[in-house]
Chain A
Amino acid sequence: MDAVGTSFGIVRALGVALILLSSGVILIVALRAFRKPEKPGAKWGLLVAFGILPLGLLLVSDAILLGQMKEVTFCGSCHPMEPFVKSFEDPADSTLAAVHAKRHLIPHQQCYTCHTDYALMGDVKAKLRGLRHLYAYYTSDNQQRPKLYSPYPNANCLQCHAGAAKYEESPTHQTISEELKKGETSCLDCHGPAHPGKETAVSE
């Protein structure tokens, strides 16, 4: 486990401890208020126990979990994703994603970095697509290879590569620069396949 994974483990452990501790506080405060509802401060106690604490914990735990969902280990926790994640560690694998991971071109959160659109709603859209994948996983044949819901956007590649000397100096890139920007030609047409197990480069 790398440093990022370890720190996430600590954050998760702290999150669990915080929830359990707060649950105890909520239980004690609520039971006290139920026993003596007329006692001064009982309603304020209930405001903390039923309103502020649960809402705060909801936000904190959601933030931790949403962070956790960016990790490769999370993506690999569903069986259909295992071949994709394993390819990162296979020295013989020369697919695009594996090369990016093995060369540490993207050191952490490799799946999330490439599969999130770079726009204001990019993160939200990525989470919604993930939920749709999970829904499909549970409601259909879950051994199927996951499919993209739309063609992979070149903007996700260009976010890092555009402006880089190696990219800009390539004669091919210079020739089809506009086509790449407009998405008329996919980066994966030449640089695919992105992941193992598929001959054509149509995947994200």
Chain B
Amino acid sequence: MSPRAILLFELAGLLLGALALFFPTGTMIFVFFTLGNLLILIGLAIYIKLVLKDLKKHRVI
């Protein structure tokens, strides 16, 4: 996974979150809020994984 994938996941997640905020009904929250949260968390997980990989490469950890 590349940093571009992180950008894509996080921006998509944030935009879905904005949609859920704009139309706060059961359907929108069920679909967009849940999916948006999931995408942002996937993006964050990939970022943390890449940072840890980088730190190991430079023998920081």
A-side interface residues toward B, CB under 8 Å?
Answer: 12, 15-16, 19-20, 22-23, 26-27, 30, 33-34, 46, 49-51, 54-55, 57-58, 61-62, 64-65, 68-69, 74, 77-78, 131, 134, 137-138
Tell me, in angstroms, the Cα distance from A12 to B21 when the chains sit together. Answer: 6
Contact across chains for B30 and A138 when beta carbons are under 8 A apart:
yes
Q: Which residue of B lies closest to A74 (CB)?
A: B24
Point out the residue from B10, B14, B27, B48 that lies within 8 Å of A77, measured CB to CB. B27
How near does chain B come to A158, taking the closest CB pair, in angstroms?
Answer: 30
Q: Write 24 A-B pairs (CB below 8 A) sorted by A numbering.
A: A12-B21, A12-B22, A15-B21, A16-B22, A19-B17, A26-B11, A34-B3, A50-B7, A50-B43, A50-B44, A51-B44, A54-B40, A54-B43, A57-B14, A58-B17, A58-B37, A61-B36, A62-B37, A65-B21, A65-B24, A74-B29, A77-B24, A131-B30, A134-B26
Using Cβ atoms and an 8 Å threshold, which residues of chain B touch A23?
Answer: 11, 14-15, 18
Q: Which residue of A lies closest to B19 (CB)?
A: A16
Point out the residue from A50, A54, A57, A69 that lies within 8 Å of B29, measured CB to CB. A69
Tell me, in angstroms, the Cα distance from A170 to B11 when the chains sit together. Answer: 59
Using Cβ atoms and an 8 Å threshold, which residues of chain A touch B40?
Answer: 54-55, 57-58
Q: Which residue of B lies closest to A69 (CB)?
A: B29
Using Cβ atoms and an 8 Å threshold, which residues of chain A touch B20?
Answer: 61, 65
Point out the residue from B14, B18, B21 that lies within 8 Å of A54, measured CB to CB. B14
Q: Which residue of B lies closest to A31 (CB)?
A: B7
CB-CB under 8 A for A22 and B11, given A62-B37, A137-B26: no
Tell me, in angstroms, the Cα distance from A22 to B20 when the chains sit together. Answer: 16
Total cross-chain contacts (CB, 8 A)? 92
CB-CB under 8 A for A30 and B44, given A61-B21, A64-B21, A74-B25: no
Contact across chains for B24 and A54 when beta carbons are under 8 A apart:
no
Tell me, in angstroms, the Cα distance from A138 to B26 when the chains sit together. Answer: 11
Given contacts A16-B18, A23-B18, A26-B11, 10 further A-B contacts (CB under 8 A): A30-B7, A33-B3, A50-B44, A54-B13, A54-B14, A57-B40, A58-B41, A61-B20, A65-B21, A68-B24
* B59 close to A (CB within 8 Å): no
Tell me, in angstroms, the Cα distance from A57 to B20 when the chains sit together. Answer: 13
Point out the residue from B4, B10, B21, B48 that lies within 8 Å of A34, measured CB to CB. B4
How near does chain A come to B58, taking the closest CB pair, in angstroms?
Answer: 11
Tell me, in angstroms, the Cα distance from A64 to B20 when the chains sit together. Answer: 10
